[in-house]
Amino acid sequence: MGSDPKWQTNIITDDEGIKEILESCNTMAVIGIKNKESQPAYFVPKYLKEKGYKIIPINPRLEEVLGEKAYKDLTQVKEPVDIVDVFRASDKIMPHAEEALKVKPKVFWMQLGIENRQAAEMLAKAGIKVVMNRCMLTERSRLIKE
């Protein structure tokens, strides 16, 4: 069938690519963050904040999480975002991917169990790196030894 289109290199699946993202990025907008300690959408960003990442909560139902002001959506965030980290069902990803096109993060990361190929292709073609179906906590603790 020939070689993969160039944009497909923006869909990151290898350990080296994941590690490079985790080491080079600092500011993370977390879509779907929760305030319940037992949920991954709370304890994963909490872990990342403890590891030195700046967390920007995105959840229209919350005022603040992890001591940070929560925003209604991604377009309200005024500072540059390195990673958009998403805790939403796969079929709810597209509106967030479209918002990401407006703010131009380096990476759009869909957490474990979340995959949307249409969104991934759209973002990758726009030059945004995409990670799907990976837990950032698991990947960071596995790939970065402290």
Residue 37 domain boundaries: 6-143
In a domain, 115, yes or no: yes
Q: Residue 31 sits in a domain of what CATH number? A: 3.40.50.720
Return the pLDDT at 2.
Answer: 44
In a domain, 1, yes or no: no
The 3-state secondary structure of the chain, one letter per residue: CCCCCHHHHHECCCHHHHHHHHHHCCEEEEECCCCCCCCHHHHHHHHHHHCCCEEEEECCCCCEECCEECECCHHHCCCCCCEEEECCCHHHCHHHHHHHHHHCCCEEEECCCCCCHHHHHHHHHCCCEEECCCCHHHHHHHHCCC
Provide the number of structural domains found in the chain. 1
As a whole number, the mean pLDDT across the chain is 95
pLDDT digits (tens, 9 = 90+) for 35-75: 999 999 999 999 999 999 999 999 999 999 999 999 999 99
Return the pLDDT at 4.
Answer: 62
Global pTM reads 0.95
Return the pLDDT at 145.
Answer: 85
Spell out, as residue ranges, where the chain has pLDDT lower than 70. 1-4
